[in-house]
Structure formats: C-alpha cells, structure tokens
C-alpha cells in the first residue's frame, strides 16, 4: 500500500498530513447537530494503512456539580458499551467494569471529571 496516496474520503489540503513524518490522511469532520450539542466524527489513516475514527461529543452539563459528574460518567460508561459492541471488543468481567475499577484507570486519579 502506498501511504502517500490519499484515499477517496481524505479531505486532502490542510486536513491531510500523510506527507509529514507521523502524519495521517483525514476526512472532513462530519458534524451532527443533536439535541443540546453536537457530535463530530473524523476518520484517519496512518502511513501503514491503519484506519481509526475520532469521535467527539459536545454537550452542555447540568448546573449542579453532582448531576454534571453523573452525566459525564454515565455518558462515558454508555459510550464504552457502544464502542465495545460496534467494534467487537473483548468484554471485561463485571468486576473490572465497576466504577471503582474505572477510577483506578483514570489518568492522574482525579477525584472528579
Ligand atoms: Zn490524504
């Protein structure tokens, strides 16, 4: 595979960095306006031909801190379930999916989101 040649979906121009060391082909970000925010998906391909997607979700949080933290964790947990299902990833045991286990894996071990 020629890593320099842009696939059909590559946006080229400033989006594509495949010609640079460590660069990638990149699609034009697809933006979905949703209730209360938006989702942004961008597809990438590195020089070895590996594809991946970056998905961002931008949503407003509740004004009270406990609810905002609960919204963040619930979104992350449900997103993880969807990602595992869509990509056929190995399911961890129920013990590994507990909230306390998730906190152990969080960078910096911050107390809140
Ligand atoms: Zn490209």
Q: How confident is the model at residue 92 (pLDDT cuts 50, 70, 90)?
A: low
Q: Are 57 and 45 in contact (CB under 8 A)?
A: no
Q: How far apart are CA 42 and CA 26, in angstroms?
A: 7
* Residue-level pLDDT at 109: 47
Query: Residue 70's pLDDT is what?
Result: 98
Q: Tell me, what's the pLDDT at 90?
A: 80
Q: Domain map of the chain by residue range? A: 1-60, 63-113
Ligand 1: centre distance to CA 15 (Å):
8
Burial zone of 47 (CB within 10 Å; 0-12 exposed, 13-18 middle, 19+ buried): middle
Tens digit of each residue's pLDDT (9 = 90 or more) over 57-87:
999 999 999 999 999 999 999 999 999 999 9
Between the CA of 24 and the centroid of ligand 1 the distance, in Å, is 7
Q: How far is the CA of 54 from the centre of ligand 1 (A)?
A: 16
Q: Quote the mean pLDDT of the chain.
A: 86
């Amino acid at each position: 595979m020629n890593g320099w040649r842009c696939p059909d979906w590559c946006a080229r121009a400033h989006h594509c960095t495949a010609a640079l060391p460590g660069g990638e082909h990149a699609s034009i970000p697809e933006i979905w306006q949703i209730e209360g925010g938006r989702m942004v998906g961008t597809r990438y391909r590195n020089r070895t031909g590996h594809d991946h997607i970056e998905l961002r979700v931008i949503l407003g949080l509740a004004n009270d801190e406990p609810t905002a933290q609960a919204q963040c964790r619930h979104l992350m947990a449900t997103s993880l379930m969807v990602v595992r299902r869509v990509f056929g990833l190995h399911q961890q045991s129920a013990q590994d999916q507990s909230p306390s286990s998730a906190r152990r894996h969080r960078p910096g071990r911050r107390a809140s989101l």
